[in-house]
Amino acid sequence: MTARSSDPISQPRRQWLAACIVALATGDTRAQGRTARLVVGFGPGGTSDVAARAVSGSLREAMGGEVIVENRSGAGGRLAVEHVRSAAPEGGVALLVPDAMMFLYPHVYRSLGYDPERDLVPVARLANLAIALYVGPMVPATVVSVADFVAWVRADSRRAVFGTSAAGATPHFVGEMFARAAGLTMTPVHYRGGAPGVQDLAGGQLPAMFGAVPDGTVMQSAGRVRALATTGPRRSAATPDVPTFAEQKFGDLVVEDGLGVYLPAGAARPTVERMALALHRALDSAEVRRVFASVGLDKDYEGPEAFAQRLRTERARWAGIVRSTGFKALDER
């Protein structure tokens, strides 16, 4: 009997075992066929959730199996971040959240529960999310620009009120920046999310609101609210007829939030690059572009290095913005 026939492990079997060992050693979970999770910090149907479901299918190979979207809402999205932070680096778990949770939250919460630079690896930025100045039926139809709105507010101090989605959220600080730039003293009214504020705005209980563009697009289409300006460096694809603040001589009001994908710290470089490539390809899909546009997202891909640099730059910038408003850090969970 030859040596080959006496070997209890056949050559094909040996090759298969070797492939499994390599997959485990490198953290490549694709051979394991397990279910991977893309964790979102907000409930079903919101902008983050819709975006996650649009791109999750493209991550099947990169994440090692079927990808489900898992909603872990609570504490302004922080529970989702803390969950992914604690996950195994190659455990088939990724995070999709707004950029502000990485550049603004460190300056807003006294006890954050995660370190954006140490606990997570930026994989890719998917979209821009501009902030809009929306006005409701309390504001006359003759007010069609930011300058008109400023003049209208100056005529009666009782009009100097604006709504926001939450204290310490990006729209809150944009409203404060706007008031300072316009030479106005305005009072913010904070809601629990953008939707309730837009409802009050459309119902005539509030003159104006600063909110993410998607917060008001449905009401704007119905003619119940109007956007006077957006904060992006260019007009939003969701509201192409609405000029930016910069176009209306408010050049300092260029603010972008966005949506990005992250892995836990320690994720292998090949895994990060594989996911980034998959997400880049997903954004070229006509269906993904359609879904993004339907919720007011402007596609804007950035890979790992560019995304990480953006977050560092924005963190430094927002430290000064928050400090200039006199905002007191929040203790809440």
- Arithmetic mean of pLDDT over the chain: 89
Instruction: State the pLDDT at residue 332.
Output: 63
Is residue 281's pLDDT more than 50? yes
Q: How far apart are CA 206 and CA 267, in angstroms?
A: 46
Instruction: Indicate if 130-248 has the same CATH topology as 34-128+257-325.
Output: yes
Tell me the CB-side half-sphere exposure of residue 141, using CA atoms within 13 A.
2
63-68-73-78 Cα dihedral, nearest 10 degrees = 0
Phi-psi region of 168 (alpha: psi -120 to 50; beta: other; left: phi over 0): left
Per-residue pLDDT reduced to its tens digit, 135-166: 999 999 999 999 999 999 999 999 999 999 99
pTM of the model: 0.84
Q: Which CATH number fits domain 34-128+257-325: 3.30.70.260, 1.20.1110.10, 3.40.50.970, 3.40.190.150?
A: 3.40.190.150
Q: How confident is the model at residue 294 (pLDDT cuts 50, 70, 90)?
A: confident
Instruction: State the pLDDT at residue 90.
Output: 87
Per-residue pLDDT reduced to its tens digit, 79-128: 999 999 999 998 899 999 999 999 999 999 998 999 999 999 999 999 99
How is the chain split into domains, by residue range? Answer: 34-128+257-325, 130-248
Instruction: State the pLDDT at residue 62.
Output: 86
Q: Which CATH number fits domain 130-248: 3.40.50.2300, 3.40.50.970, 3.90.1150.10, 3.40.190.10?
A: 3.40.190.10
User: Are 55 and 288 spatial neighbours (Cβ–Cβ below 8 Å)?
Assistant: yes
Is residue 30's pLDDT more than 90? no
Arithmetic mean of pLDDT, 270-292: 94
308: number of Cβ within 10 Å? 20
